[in-house]
């Protein structure tokens, strides 16, 4: 799940607000597009070239840049409406494509991949369902951010652990060190999202109903 922070409601007369939010060509958006463009390269390295070392490095970089684009957006005031939509979409695609590829290759335990995929599918369906019912936007919780951060390092480590390089056994150890707490945080956040989602649905409907 993509990281985000709460946004205060600003007055409509704030100068330049609409222009800033409608921007498309921003550095964070460019980073997100590059991340998406690199996904086929990861699949090619892992499944076609069987270069697990290079695939693990690329996957780790793709995961790390999720933090980078968010930091740049906040630090340099480059947030945009497109970025708020594109970034979580990129995160979901990164998880789905990477996990399915890793499942096919077999470089990570299948049960770990299925547990993460099940949560991602459930979150995606719930997000789309709540949005269609008129719920307000839900911000990512700290537990959700932590779980995503840990998993984005666990899976590159699993991929590296399947390589023939000398650091493979060390990578396997780090993979388990990251994946167990990552799963715990992720599912804890998933449970916490249930009341948050219901509250967001009530508030969204109340805001849209005529007074």
For the stretch 109-118, pLDDT in tens is: 999 999 999 9
Please tell me the distance from the alpha carbon of residue 96 to that of residue 67, in angstroms, as a whole number. Answer: 18
Predicted local distance difference test score (pLDDT) of residue 5? 38
The set of residues, in sequence order, having a beta carbon less than 8 Å from that of 139 and lying 6+ positions away, is 4, 5, 6
Identify which of 116, 196, 102 has the alpha carbon closest to the alpha carbon of residue 158.
Answer: 102
**Hey, what are 109's tokens?**
């335990």
Residues in the chain, total? 211
Identify the residue with better confidence: 69 or 201. Answer: 201
Identify which of 117, 105, 133, 97 has the alpha carbon closest to the alpha carbon of residue 190.
Answer: 117
DSSP 48: I
Please tell me the distance from the alpha carbon of residue 108 to that of residue 28, in angstroms, as a whole number. Answer: 31
The whole model's pTM is what? 0.80
Predicted local distance difference test score (pLDDT) of residue 22? 57
Q: Does domain 17-208 have CATH number 1.20.120?
A: yes
Average pLDDT in the chain: 83
For the stretch 128-187, pLDDT in tens is: 898 888 888 787 788 988 998 899 899 999 999 998 888 899 999 999 999 999 999 999
Query: How do the domains of the chain map onto residue ranges?
Result: 17-208
């Amino acid at each position: 799940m993509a990281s985000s922070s709460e946004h205060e409601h600003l007055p409509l007369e704030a100068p330049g607000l609409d222009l800033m939010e409608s921007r498309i060509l921003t550095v964070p958006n460019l980073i997100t597009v590059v991340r998406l463009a690199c996904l086929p390269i990861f699949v090619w390295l892992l499944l076609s070239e069987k270069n697990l070392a290079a695939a693990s490095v690329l996957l780790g970089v793709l995961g790390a840049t999720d933090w980078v684009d968010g930091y740049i957006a906040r630090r340099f005031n480059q947030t945009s409406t497109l970025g708020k939509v594109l970034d979580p979409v990129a995160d979901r695609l990164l998880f789905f494509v990477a996990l399915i590829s890793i499942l096919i290759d077999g470089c990570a335990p299948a049960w770990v991949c299925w547990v993460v995929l099940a949560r991602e599918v459930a979150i995606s369906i719930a997000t789309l369902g709540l949005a269609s019912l008129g719920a307000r936007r839900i911000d990512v919780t700290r537990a959700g951010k932590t779980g995503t951060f840990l998993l984005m390092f666990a899976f590159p480590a699993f991929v590296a652990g399947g390589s023939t390089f000398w650091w493979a056994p060390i990578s396997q150890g780090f993979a388990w060190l990251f994946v167990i707490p990552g799963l715990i945080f992720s599912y804890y956040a998933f449970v916490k999202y249930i009341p948050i989602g219901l509250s967001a649905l009530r508030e969204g409907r109340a805001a849209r109903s005529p007074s």
